[in-house]
Amino acid sequence: MKVQFTPEADIIVMESYHHDKGNNCALIAVDEIKRKLRLKYTENDVVRRAIELGLTKPRKATLFWTPEEDAFLRENAHFPASEIMRVFNEKFTSKRTLSAIVARIGRLGGVRELSNQTGYTAKALAGHLHISTAMLEKMTQQGAIFGTKRNGRDWYYEKENVQLFIARHPEQIDITKVDKYWLIGILTMGIFDDNSRSRPFVCGNSA
């Protein structure tokens, strides 16, 4: 489904590309649109709109980053870049170079920030499990999985509790739909000695 831009958002995109001739035009526009209009667009959304408006030209070699690719990098940014590239290119059809992956991780916020996630929102976990958020909330209320509410309304699930849920209720997991890399990452989490291990790769659909 094509993302629709409002006239006000178009103005911000045009101003960003006119005032900044570097590589950060799209990111500047994303931030300005969110701050001024309370609308949320991705960097790729803005780049595509800028091309439509004639503000920039598409490069033949350009491959837009997908939300799934970004989620993978967020979850695994603490690994060596060469290892991230190897697993990334096994998982995704868009093959990325080492320099592209390093640059993207930097643009997403850096290793220290990205590797500090300890769990999942309800939307993210439901996506990993390939179930609806309503079904996940029902399982939470039934006690199958433990979650906590943030801000008094949004469910959040620590990775340890997700691991426990999968171990205790394997019948709730549709193995034909769940991402196998993500599932292995959750199930093997914590089995290595803290002095010698890195966290296992998490290869989910979103974060």
Domain ranges for the chain, please list them: 7-52, 67-113, 119-187
Domain 119-187: which topology? Multidrug-efflux Transporter Regulator; Chain: A; Domain 2 (1.10.1660)
Q: How far is CA 16 from CA 19, 28, 49, 189, in A?
A: 5, 6, 12, 43
pLDDT tens digits along 121-168: 888 888 888 888 889 999 999 999 999 887 777 888 888 899 999 999
Work out the number of other CB atoms within 10 angstroms of the CB of residue 45.
21
Query: Is the pLDDT confidence value at 6 over 90?
Result: yes
Structure tokens at 29: 């526009």
pTM of the model: 0.41
Higher per-residue pLDDT: 61 or 90: 90
Residue 197: predicted pLDDT: 40
